Amino acid sequence: MKALTDTSRRALYDYVRRRPHPVTRDDAARATGMTRGLAAFHLDKLVDVGLLQAHYETPHGQPRGRGRTPKVYRLHADGVAFTLPARRYEIIADILAEAMSSGEEPATVACRRGHGVATPDAGLTEVLDGLGFEPEPGPEAVLLHNCPFHALASRYTDLVCGLNQAFLSGVIDGCGAEGAEARLVPRPGFCCVEIRV
């Protein structure tokens, strides 16, 4: 991640990451040997890119003094992860967890989930791209150059590809893409599902 290539920013990120409580700009500046202004600049950049979260509160273990409550920083609650090409294993995990807890068929849950991520005002290609499928529209089909569930699909092909097909059927329906259909067309280098138009 480019934001962490700057050594000052990386030092601040590492400092905040290792603290059990949110830290102030003063704490971070002292710990890293920076001026308060420089530390504040880099901390706010880390907030801007989503690596840290900031809010105002009295620091842990310090009495509330006079004046403004200081801005404190902590690691982003959701964490940060990225892969290239895009992988979205949490979608399959959520589908299976919901199916297990509700007793519904996983394909039914997958279709509903797909419908839920789509919006009629967004085009099908735009939604597929946002999900990491790397779509390439053609005259008869939309080819999906990436499978966001690749590692799981290679180990549990029938299960994962079937859920993917149901999920994409829901996406198609949610986008209002009439006449489009998610079909299993496994082949090397592509997602196992193709969208026929």
- Looking at residue 87, what is its pLDDT? 85
Q: What's the whole-number mean pLDDT along residues 19-23?
A: 90
- Looking at residue 63, what is its pLDDT? 67
- Looking at residue 83, what is its pLDDT? 63
Q: What's the whole-number mean pLDDT along residues 39-47?
A: 92
**Would the pLDDT of 80 be above 90?**
no
**Would the pLDDT of 41 be above 80?**
yes
- pLDDT tens for 109-158 read 999 999 999 877 778 999 999 899 999 999 999 999 999 999 999 999 99
- Looking at residue 1, what is its pLDDT? 63
**Would the pLDDT of 81 be above 90?**
no
**Would the pLDDT of 101 be above 90?**
yes
- Looking at residue 85, what is its pLDDT? 73
Q: What's the whole-number mean pLDDT along residues 48-53?
A: 88
The CATH code of the domain at 2-75 is 1.10.10.10
**Would the pLDDT of 67 be above 80?**
no
Q: Which long-range contacts (CB under 8 A, 24 or more apart) does 45-51 make?
A: 45/3, 45/9, 46/3, 46/9, 46/12, 46/13, 46/16, 46/73, 47/73, 49/1, 49/3, 50/76, 50/80, 51/1, 51/3, 51/4, 51/13, 51/75, 51/76, 51/80
Which tokens in the block code for residue 169? 């059927």
What does the domain layout of the chain look like in residue ranges? 2-75, 89-196
pTM metric for this prediction = 0.63
